[in-house]
């Protein structure tokens, strides 16, 4: 079946512009996660959705970052007034929500470059 998809695959923007990154989780997966991976670094947790609500937003780096999820499916990560330090690969993952931890399936990521 279809895996997690993300769009765009690459995004180049100018400093100060806003960007929107999209994630389509696996059908039926109620849990959705956003991570950031800087070059050669690990995965930095940003936010987690359970259905349409976000019980954990603790990883969002600043108030320029926000995310929403509608219909329990597609999620959008928005970065306002982008800065050069926002350049990274943004990864989305989804999993079944069963009360136990389940495998997180990752998307291919969006590579964001802020000039």
Partner 1 sequence: GENVEQHPSTLSVQEGDSAVIKCTYSDSASNYFPWYKQELGKRPQLIIDIRSNVGEKKDQRIAVTLNKTAKHFSLHITETQPEDSAVYFCAASIGGFQKLVFGTGTRLLVSP
Task: For the CB of residue 96, give the shortest distance to partner 1 in the complex, in Å.
Answer: 10
Coil, strand or helix at 85: helix
Per CB under 8 A, 1 contacts partner 1: no
Per CB under 8 A, 108 contacts partner 1: yes
Q: Give bridge partners of residue 77 from the DSSP assignment.
A: 21, 67
CB closer to partner 1, 7 vs 80: 7
Positions in 23-82 near partner 1 (CB under 8 A): 31, 33, 35, 41-45, 48, 50, 55-56
Under rule CB under 8 A, how many of the chain's residues touch partner 1? Answer: 24
Coil, strand or helix at 29: coil
For residue 84, what are the contacts with CB-CB under 8 A and spacing of at least 6? 15, 114, 115
Nearest to residue 36, comparing CAs of 110, 115, 113, 114? 110
The contact set with partner 1 (CB under 8 A) reads 31, 33, 35, 41-45, 48, 50, 55-56, 91, 95, 97, 100-101, 103-109
């Amino acid at each position: 079946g279809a895996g997690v998809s993300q769009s765009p695959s690459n995004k180049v923007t100018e400093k100060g512009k806003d960007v929107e990154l999209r994630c389509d989780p696996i059908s039926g997966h109620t849990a959705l996660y956003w991570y950031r991976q800087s070059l050669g670094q690990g995965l930095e947790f940003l936010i987690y959705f359970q259905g349409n609500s976000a019980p954990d937003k603790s990883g969002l780096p600043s108030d320029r970052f926000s995310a929403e999820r509608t219909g329990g499916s597609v999620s959008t990560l928005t970065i306002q007034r982008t800065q050069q330090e926002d350049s990274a690969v943004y990864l989305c993952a989804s999993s079944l929500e069963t009360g136990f931890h389940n495998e997180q399936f990752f998307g291919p990521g969006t590579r964001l470059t802020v000039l």
